Structure 1
């Protein structure tokens, strides 16, 4: 089987890095097309030996991208096209059908109750999504919560497959030597109690809540924010105004796997932390939380379908907290008072092992490829 993955961009983000990790475990020949922004993840994929093509799409209404993508799919001789993120799903599904591809699968990474990929869920967004969804064979939801949201939107239940995001359990295993080296590299005091926040620095992630929570904690508490985005300058100003700027460390975007990028990778930064806090009130999965659990960290979260969908409680390490600064201040203080745990991976988290997710996705691929090809949009419209 030969597959093409079409994604909106390849900057450092959850869906983008999940794609790179997945391709390392899929027993399928895979190429990748990014519509825009061939960033750090594109470089990582190329280092892994994956062919990456930048389509050079100019914006959401760059209709010239559609014939370019169609020609690329047709010339590649692909058995299956797998699309990721909203814009790539809309253009990729249509281009694949026009190219006569045998099977089309899409993964819905970030559908919330009120937003998708940071954009408000308007009636127009929903109509376009559903129109393009009908062109595919299956839509993969990264959690049962997302699957239910898709059903409420109008996606037929038989077309929805649940394949959770996967993590590299070995990569996130806690290493005390790596903790010491990385803390020293970041300039953290030896006795610092480190609160971690991981994700895009975007309004919906509500990292301002953690900054205000830090202001209510003793001076040996630090906040390490891992990620990049449009809110960084505002968050820095918030830290200044709260009087904690000297205890807030912004690491920028960090890769999931070592790839030669200067600075520590994400698993090393997880080792540095003493607790992971996620104040985002609306998540589609909660990948950073699962990765923190794999590192043996206690986690405080406002929303995390991945935890709610686990078959067993992850050893009591996860606690739900309302998205409020005072609530997080109290929860962090209580977590510290309980003391450090053993930093071992809870058995329940193995439910999200990347090899398991890859095997589940291969079952979706096999079913999609085995189904007969329905008429292309062009042929259907001419009858």
Structure 2
């Protein structure tokens, strides 16, 4: 099948990372894939390293009069059967044509950007139901999950020096209020001193989080690691993975932790609540509740057998539903179902 994926997102982010994984995996599986991206040397290099030849366009604001015609010309030359527009900006620029136009959403976005789309696909069942609640026809609303890289078996990362007996917690993500890292710092202050936090990410909240850590008296127990690419190694070095988000439409980080067989404690935001079976594949606690978060984390630190059980169950769930092979099969079935019955395509 000939598939064009269009991404105009930020250099970093969960949807952007999955876009890259999916494009490369479909290409490796023998699909004819065109990746059209907003100009980004890093993303372009990663796609090229995987065998793709990405097209880079401007994808500017409403005064950008060049990207629309350029994208239409690129798609006309490639002649895809399906075009997947990832998130608002790509959907705003993506034209109709002899292909099926799919809007791929990873959050609860304004559907006016997707008016030209034939179908919408979300990465959770809750998103699909939300599409329908907004008036989108049910028969054109779909759910296809994400997959994460299998991070099992990585050698543990070298974390900052710490006293003997330290138990590292790990949290990952953009340092933004939605991620709830302030709640996690308050929970850390309620945990025994052998619990330390490795926080990997950057963002506008870093200075505020550093101030809060000092005010809570836990600054020496928190390692702000910045953006990291060695997620598997970080997971291998931690005892518990924590996702404290106030707002989390999916939670790719949960899938990564499952793949690495690490026990997960998460706030009950939309995505983690759908992914995790509380007490079976992880632990869920109320959002904004530092005491409950500390209680769940502390319980796992004190009960290694239960932590290991949750880690094994999470790994099994990853293999069943969120590893590359089952998700690629779901995407393949979805794309074939929505593609035009007859499409003039080029060789391959």
Give TM-score scaled by structure 1 length.
0.79
- The answer to whether the Cα contact below 8 Å between 2:199 and 2:222 also exists between their aligned partners in 1 is yes
Equivalent position to 1:104, from 101, 105, 109: 101
Deviations 1:34-92 (A, max 9, x none): 235x1533332221122222212333553432222222222333332111111112222
- Aligned partner of 2:185 in structure 1 is 211
CA deviation after TM superposition for structure 1 residue 30, in Å = 1.3
Flag the 1:19–1:186 CA change in 2: closer, same or farther, 3 A: farther
CA deviation after TM superposition for structure 1 residue 6, in Å = 0.7
Flag the 1:185–1:206 CA change in 2: closer, same or farther, 3 A: closer
Question: Is 1:347 equivalent to 2:316 in the alignment?
Answer: yes
What SS does the corresponding residue of 2:204 show, helix, strand or coil? coil
CA deviation after TM superposition for structure 1 residue 314, in Å = 8.0
- Aligned partner of 2:123 in structure 1 is 142
Deviations 1:259-292 (A, max 9, x none): xxxxxx1111111111111121332222211221
- Aligned partner of 1:380 in structure 2 is none
CA deviation after TM superposition for structure 1 residue 7, in Å = 0.8
- Aligned partner of 1:381 in structure 2 is none
Flag the 1:40–1:226 CA change in 2: closer, same or farther, 3 A: farther
Between 313-322 and 325-334, the greater mean CA deviation after superposition: 313-322
What SS does the corresponding residue of 2:36 show, helix, strand or coil? strand
- Aligned partner of 1:276 in structure 2 is 241
Between 223-232 and 344-353, the greater mean CA deviation after superposition: 344-353
- Aligned partner of 1:201 in structure 2 is 175
CA deviation after TM superposition for structure 1 residue 208, in Å = 0.9
Give TM-score scaled by structure 2 length.
0.87
- Where in structure 2 are the equivalents of 1:56-71 lying within 5 Å? 56-71=58-73
Flag the 1:71–1:34 CA change in 2: closer, same or farther, 3 A: same
- Aligned partner of 1:75 in structure 2 is 77
CA deviation after TM superposition for structure 1 residue 190, in Å = 5.0
Q: CA RMSD in A?
A: 2.5
What SS does the corresponding residue of 1:25 show, helix, strand or coil? helix
What is the aligned length? 334
- Aligned partner of 2:31 in structure 1 is 28
- The answer to whether the Cα contact below 8 Å between 1:10 and 1:39 also exists between their aligned partners in 2 is no
Question: Is 1:6 equivalent to 2:6 in the alignment?
Answer: yes
CA deviation after TM superposition for structure 1 residue 188, in Å = 4.8
Deviations 1:331-383 (A, max 9, x none): 2211211125265453223211221111111122212223468xxxxxxxxxx
Flag the 1:368–1:294 CA change in 2: closer, same or farther, 3 A: same
- The answer to whether the Cα contact below 8 Å between 1:194 and 1:275 also exists between their aligned partners in 2 is yes
- Gaps in structure 1 of 5+ consecutive residues: 117-124, 256-264, 374-383
Flag the 1:185–1:249 CA change in 2: closer, same or farther, 3 A: closer
- Gaps in structure 2 of 5+ consecutive residues: 344-348
